[in-house]
Amino acid sequence: MARRQFRAMGTDVLVVAPLARVDVAADTVHALFVAWERILSRFRPDSELARLNESAGVPFVASPILFDAVAAAMSAAVATGGLFDPTLLRDLERVGYDRSFKDLEKAQSETQTTPIGGGMWRRLELRRESRTILLPRGAALDLGGIAKGMAVDASLDLLRTIGVGAALVSAGGDLAVRGLPPGASSWPVAVGEDAELTVTLVRGALATSSRLRRAWRQGTLERHHILDPRTGEPSRSGLREATVAAATCAQAEAASKAVFVLGLQLAGELVTRNGLAARLVADDGRVATFGPWPQRTEVAA
């Protein structure tokens, strides 16, 4: 197997595929990510998502990719009772995440503004027949994480159609696999910020939400990008990171955010009810696993 890496959708995209096909696989995935970024990026003023956000209160006829991404985000919001919330963009900007993370000032001045909080997705309307989205007035969408997850899933579907049956695609660490590497029974994947353990994935997807990587300061306040929809502020659930295994990367990504917001004590119910597996790391280093997460991986240091 061989690896190719490129930058798209504000993150590092990794493609692992058989050596003979890795270049064509990487080119295919790159083209897909570039096309999706043009549609779904909140940082590009010319993206279709940016135009949708400017059209709040007015019916907007969307492309199939944007419509499906918004529909998936809405479905994820319903499934998590709103703990995954795609309508937190204004709060995300308010706490300082208003441009691509690489361009973000990591020590910002403090601003005195009131959180809006989540829940606007409940008033968003979708009409599938006409692919029309009616965003409530004052709402704005951020599809960042789930859009990357969907792009990973779509990439693997696309690779299969061009005859690449075994591949791993990762967007900033949200990853999924199809098929198996030649002569191997699984894909070894390091988990978490510190790569403190390795699991072997046979099929499906893994995603980690962490407060460590996309973090900055706003005055005296420590900020990170995972907002709690109940407060509109960066989550203080006591977790450092949450990794979720699911059938698809979009599912794993949305669930990891919801689980992160719930915290160590409450996450288990959401994980097991939806047939997922998860590994949570608390700020104090405690680790908990839920669902069929491989038990042998958890060993006290």
Partner 1 sequence: MSAQRNDPAVRRRHLQLRISTLKRRVGLASVVGFGALLGLVAEHAVGAHRNATSPAARGGGQTSAAPSRFFDAGGATYSFGDDTAQLPTLGGGQSQSSPQSSPQSSPPPPPVAQTSAS
Q: What residues from 64 to 83 belong to the interface with partner 1 (CB under 8 A)?
A: 70-72, 74-83
Contact between 142 and 77 under an 8 Å Cβ cutoff? The reply is: no
Instruction: Put residue 59 in one of left, alpha, beta given phi > 0 → left and psi -120 to 50 → alpha.
Output: beta
Of 259, 264, 269, 258, the residue nearest 284 (C-alpha): 264
Write out the H or E segment, with its range, that includes residue 125: strand 125-127
Tell which positions 218-277 bind partner 1, by CB under 8 A.
Answer: 241, 243, 245-248, 251, 254-255, 264, 270, 273-277
Contact between 182 and 165 under an 8 Å Cβ cutoff? The reply is: no
- DSSP lists the bridge partners of residue 298 as none
Phi first, then psi, for residue 258 (nearest 5°) are -65, -45
Q: Choose which of 205, 226, 259, 261 interacts with partner 1 (CB under 8 A).
A: 205
Q: How far is the CB of 43 from partner 1 (least distance, A)?
A: 16
Q: How far is the CB of 112 from partner 1 (least distance, A)?
A: 30
- DSSP lists the bridge partners of residue 175 as 170, 206
> Does 300 participate in binding partner 1 (rule CB under 8 A)?
yes
> Does 104 participate in binding partner 1 (rule CB under 8 A)?
no
> Does 116 participate in binding partner 1 (rule CB under 8 A)?
no
Q: Choose which of 33, 187, 216, 260 interacts with partner 1 (CB under 8 A).
A: 187
d(CA 179, CA 172): 21
> Does 194 participate in binding partner 1 (rule CB under 8 A)?
yes
The residue (of 82 and 96) whose beta carbon lies closer to partner 1 is 82
Q: How far is the CB of 173 from partner 1 (least distance, A)?
A: 4
Here the tokens at position 220 are: 């005296």
The residue (of 161 and 295) whose beta carbon lies closer to partner 1 is 295
Going edge to edge, which strands form the sheet with 60-61?
60-61, 132-134, 125-127
d(CA 270, CA 237): 15
Here the tokens at position 208 are: 């980690």
- Segment interacting with partner 1, rule: CB under 8 A, options 36-44, 106-114, 219-227, 293-301: 293-301
How many residues bind partner 1 (CB under 8 A)? The answer is: 95
d(CA 227, CA 132): 27
Tell which positions 125-184 bind partner 1, by CB under 8 A.
Answer: 125-128, 168, 170, 172-175, 181, 184
The residue (of 16 and 94) whose beta carbon lies closer to partner 1 is 16
d(CA 267, CA 269): 6
> Does 285 participate in binding partner 1 (rule CB under 8 A)?
yes
- DSSP lists the bridge partners of residue 182 as none
- Segment interacting with partner 1, rule: CB under 8 A, options 11-19, 42-50, 52-60, 109-117: 11-19
Q: Choose which of 124, 139, 154, 261 interacts with partner 1 (CB under 8 A).
A: 124
Residues contacting residue 93 through CB under 8 Å, at least 6 positions apart: none
The residue (of 122 and 137) whose beta carbon lies closer to partner 1 is 122
Question: Pairing between strand 215-218 and 239-246?
Answer: unpaired
> Does 203 participate in binding partner 1 (rule CB under 8 A)?
yes
Q: How far is the CB of 125 from partner 1 (least distance, A)?
A: 6
Q: How far is the CB of 281 from partner 1 (least distance, A)?
A: 7
Q: How far is the CB of 34 from partner 1 (least distance, A)?
A: 19
> Does 49 participate in binding partner 1 (rule CB under 8 A)?
no
d(CA 9, CA 212): 20
